[in-house]
Structure 1
Amino acid sequence: MLLALDTATGTSSVALLSGSEAIAQSCLVDVNPGEVTVRQIDELCSSTGIARGSLTAVAVGVGPGPYTSTRIGVAIARTMAYALGIPVYGVCTHDAIAAQFAVAVKDRGSAENGPSGGTSFMVATDARRREIYWARYDELGRRLSGPDVGKPGDVIAESQIRVWVGNGLDRYAELVNDFDLNVTSLPGPQAQWIGRIALGAVDDPGMDLAATELVSHDAVERAAIPAEQRLFAAYPLYLRRPDAKLPAGAK
């Protein structure tokens, strides 16, 4: 049984997975993860009758995202894993958003609102300071470049990609109109996709990797996950210095 969570985008998302299937999940938008995420985990365990002690691994979204919210989710995941004596694995938050979007488009059987025919797309989330965190993906949700951070206008112009996913452009309607972009706004990933990527099951839903195999080279190759999407260490993925700074002269 795997616990997956992500708090890197201002959304607190938690899921329990058995194999590659989510058996329960909870997602709260525009919340303080420090106040709700542990409660969400407890409520999922209680509602499913699954004791924390039966968990075999934890997977956590490591961002990129705002310093504080990303750090909270990672700290919760690492603390739980340490207390239970189980492994913890990091997943790029943007990879989970991309997988969620690509599979949804495929399931709809229509490319009207998404990538198709070899068309790549961008995942962007709010980085504050009038910047976005971005990564580029192919139509199957496999990362081609990034993650990185930049000014939205610059990233849009340089990428020349019309299909965008995430909350990164929510504040930039003028840019969306000027560049004639096709935007699917998502507040953040469903945590089940954090778990599925960790299990190597995005491209092969039938796979059920043992916790000890999650980061092995052979398991990754069997799951057809490209090298650039291998698991991250379970530490926040910071692409710049935190917004908060010590006052001048402080030690």
Structure 2
Amino acid sequence: MLLLAVDTATPAVTVALHDGDSVVAEAGQVDARRHGELLLPTIDRVLAEAGLKLDAVTGVVVGVGPGPYTGLRVGLATAETFGLVLGVPVHGLCTLDGLAYAAGIAGPFAVATDARRKEVYWARYADARTRVGEPAVDRPADIAEQLAGLPVVGSGALLYPEAFPDARGPEHQSAGALASLAAEKLAAGDAGGFLAPLPLYLRRPDAQVPKNYKVVTPK
């Protein structure tokens, strides 16, 4: 097994290779505006570090979000393209699940990432491998009471400490954690534990067609 994991649903452009036992190589960079520029060079760097070629990959793992429209689609489009070219399966996982797995917290907690517009993408977890319910997007103040007393992991928690006083790391997504979670599921035969490699936006894109714009027709 050789899994190539990518995630661009957050400001972190992160890539990892996993051989079924452990992470072979991992690299990433936090830059919310350059997902398209950074992803392919990061994949090349990870493959070079591992001394492997792309055709050695037997499966692709991709974070499906939630995340902003532009960044998220970069990783998904790349993952689907590699899957088609290599003829290998593409396994989707919730980006928040990767952060939860990396946190390694045994008891109940939550994960929150920055959704911009003074909101967070968030979900609750029974433990590092078990999400409770579906991800959502809300203002921190609106969910502070629901999450009172719980540790909250991720950049969204660290950005709003007044709403999440027990904010913890990791701050950013790790493709290594996402790949490790996927490898566990595959080893356990948990094929149903994956999501389709489709974007989980939770809200409409920031870019909108202007309302009441003037239509120009030829004379």
Give the TM-score, by structure 2 length: 0.89
In structure 2, which of residues 187, 201, 212 is the aligned counterpart of residue 238 of structure 1? 201
TM-fit CA distance, 1:15: 0.4
Aligned-pair identity (%): 38
Q: Which residue number in structure 1 is paired with residue 152 of structure 2?
A: 164
Aligned equivalent of 1:127: 115
5+ residue gaps, structure 1, are 103-114, 202-207, 210-217, 222-226
Pairwise CA RMSD of aligned residues? 2.0
Q: Distance in 2 between matches of 1:146 and 1:29?
A: 26
Deviation of residue 249 (structure 1)? 4.2
Separation (CA, whole Å) in 2 of partners of 1:161 and 1:174: 13
Partner of 2:162: 174
What are the within-5 Å matches in structure 2 for residues 53-202 of structure 1? 53-102=55-104, 115=105, 119-176=107-164, 181-201=165-185
Q: Which residue of 1 aligns with 2:18?
A: 17
Question: 1:79 deviation in Å?
Answer: 0.9
Equivalent residues of 2:136, 2:202 under 8 A apart: yes
Give distance in 2, aligned partners of 1:141 and 1:63: 17
Are the equivalent residues in 2 in contact too, given 1:120–1:161 (CA < 8 A)? no
**Paired amino acid for 1:219:** G
Task: Choose which of 21, 38, 41 in structure 2 pairs with 1:36.
Answer: 38
- Residue matched to 1:8: 9
In 2: Cα distance, 1:85 partner to 1:140 partner: 31
Count of matched residue positions in the alignment of Structure 1 and Structure 2:
212
Kept in 1: contact 2:158–2:171 (CA 8 A): no
Residue 62 of structure 1: CA displacement? Answer: 0.5
Name the structure 1 match of 2:189: 219
Alpha carbons 2:102, 2:128 under 8 Å: kept: no
The one-letter code sitting in structure 2 at the alignment partner of 1:147 is: P
